[in-house]
Structure 1
């Protein structure tokens, strides 16, 4: 089987990863028809319930291609009437996922945690076009290759927070169910505790507190040396994003970012910044820097004001059944954001843990310029 990466890479003891197969295994999505949908036709059901995945024409193509079963039987008639309790399964055929790196550097590891240096371009969890080429898949493959873990029923390697696909740097993962539960509680607690909290310390000073520090390249020259941004973040409907797009919104949830200017590159009209957050909302740094008029260099989505600026196309191509969004989406790469450092109390030992992900060359280059 062909791979899109060379399998002869020499791996250091602190690096792991297996090349991706050319095609994934496809994905199945299950639905159960409930009372409000009884009497709908097959095409009506999918067009109404899963419009964010594809418009009616896209679902029509999938039905006629035999990709949907009704109670275990392939049904190609879009006008089939559905009844309560009917089981529907949509099978998304195997596809060649877009290029994604596969090597992961281990920054810290013990019996409970593993911290990785995630490369830009690698998605953390399955979603959209990336169902196999994810950090989670590499973690699961690593567990299977370590025979000693196979007998440990408590082993549960999984990321406990997310980084955008285009974001590089430190990703904290749990190795056991207990660590995952406790870390999830810490992240949830610190996200909800940002209301009115402007005291960002570089070190943890109480149990459960954490600090995350990022590096970013922002458009334009930021005149202030430090800025505290407390713009709330909410969601709006957006094509290609099923649960809505996160944007700056007065009615959104609290979010707080402390921005510190490290370097002003007047010649290239950009500013190198350090941004500190406690846990955080999805795409918080991208949204907040955009909100103050300094979006990330190369960001294809958040251009200004913390909201997207792109046209919404209603046209559908003949190959829409392959599931490809036409507009920029949060997972698109091109921006420069790096999760640089994490400080927190260890969820099991209660010791202070400080982990740093080395800066990519592009950041070192800009920071070293006079």
Structure 2
């Protein structure tokens, strides 16, 4: 459903579904009841200024009846966000595709306390590209290669690559070494992730997640005496937190992971200790040129520097 309001400062207008009936005489009364605890004066101002629109672009006024429109759009008044001390870099850019190196701690898309401070909004503003949308996502704590579609007309062709699993993705991770594990190791399990529970879980049942794990290199941590490994990870499925869960299940949880195998108390970000997980490369046959392409990260994991 295309918004009647353009992207502003890199951020989409908010869509709200308006009920057919209720104790509200107007659409504005409904919005105030639903969101007025956040910014009641600002909501009224936007209705008065004519900044609330219906799907056909019609202005929704303070007196527009409740059931006149099923959906309305308006701009949220966003708080000023402190800029995260991380930067993304562009690996490739053409009329259809933008490929970036996303740093640790920067979310892919707006959500929660991060709106302007997301890879999507930063790029839209930087490139003056309001049509930019991510083709896939990386966790906020995961760094590496991230693809964005710049052209709505060709977007579906790239999205289909991910839907049909025609993408080869390789990750790198740093985790402890277990002498009793033999590599390469293929981990298969059934994973679930509910909308109400923070963590992904492995349960009994037919596997729906598969990861190939290869140990690439080892070193001894001088501070702890622990042997650390640099692992090459190839996920054949794309479940939420799949790599983090699969390594933790083998007793080699990724370094600086605050979720797995043990959920830590919420704490401020420690930029000196990023999750040691990197989306290292993505390869596929470009659906427009029919040529094979591969995009590789120029970032490194701090526990294995200078190891590409």
TM-score, normalized by length of structure 2? 0.69
1-structure distance, mates of 2:75, 2:97: 35
Q: Quote the offset at 1:64 in angstroms.
A: 8.4
What's 2:189 paired with? Answer: 231
Whether the aligned pair in 1 keeps the contact of 2:132 and 2:150 (CA below 8 Å) is yes
Q: 1:261 aligns with which of 195, 202, 215?
A: 215
Q: Structure 2: which 5+ residue stretches go unaligned?
A: 1-8, 25-29, 49-64
Whether the aligned pair in 2 keeps the contact of 1:101 and 1:122 (CA below 8 Å) is no
What's 1:106 paired with? Answer: 90
Q: 1:337 aligns with which of 272, 277, 280?
A: 277
What's 1:30 paired with? Answer: 16
Whether the aligned pair in 2 keeps the contact of 1:272 and 1:366 (CA below 8 Å) is no
Aligned residues: 266
Whether the aligned pair in 1 keeps the contact of 2:101 and 2:143 (CA below 8 Å) is yes
1-structure distance, mates of 2:149, 2:139: 18
What's 2:168 paired with? Answer: 211
2-structure distance, mates of 1:138, 1:30: 25
Whether the aligned pair in 2 keeps the contact of 1:170 and 1:339 (CA below 8 Å) is yes
Whether the aligned pair in 1 keeps the contact of 2:218 and 2:230 (CA below 8 Å) is yes
1-structure distance, mates of 2:188, 2:80: 41
- 1:125-178 Cα shifts (integer Å, max 9, x gaps): 11111111111112212332xxxx8xxxxx832221111111111112222123
2:132 is the counterpart of 1:182: no
What's 2:123 paired with? Answer: 139
What's 1:303 paired with? Answer: 261
Q: Counterpart of 2:37 in 1: which secondary structure?
A: helix
What's 1:163 paired with? Answer: 138
Q: Counterpart of 1:111 in 2: which secondary structure?
A: coil
Whether the aligned pair in 1 keeps the contact of 2:170 and 2:233 (CA below 8 Å) is yes
TM-score, normalized by length of structure 1? 0.59
- 1:70-124 Cα shifts (integer Å, max 9, x gaps): 9x69xxxxxxxxx984999999653243542463322223332221111112111
Q: Quote the offset at 1:300 in angstroms.
A: 0.9
Q: Counterpart of 1:156 in 2: which secondary structure?
A: coil
What's 2:62 paired with? Answer: none
Whether the aligned pair in 2 keeps the contact of 1:340 and 1:357 (CA below 8 Å) is yes
With 258-267 and 164-173 compared, the bigger mean Cα shift is at 258-267
Whether the aligned pair in 2 keeps the contact of 1:25 and 1:93 (CA below 8 Å) is no
What's 1:76 paired with? Answer: none
What's 1:66 paired with? Answer: 40
What's 2:112 paired with? Answer: 128
2-structure distance, mates of 1:363, 1:348: 38
- 1:335-356 Cα shifts (integer Å, max 9, x gaps): 1111111110012111000221
1-structure distance, mates of 2:148, 2:76: 29
2-structure distance, mates of 1:253, 1:91: 43
Residue 268 to residue 297, structure 1, CA distance change in 2 (3 Å): same
Q: Quote the offset at 1:214 in angstroms.
A: 0.6
Whether the aligned pair in 1 keeps the contact of 2:108 and 2:140 (CA below 8 Å) is yes
Residue 328 to residue 303, structure 1, CA distance change in 2 (3 Å): farther
Whether the aligned pair in 1 keeps the contact of 2:86 and 2:105 (CA below 8 Å) is no
- 1:45-81 Cα shifts (integer Å, max 9, x gaps): 99xxx9xxxxxxxx8xx638737969x69xxxxxxxx
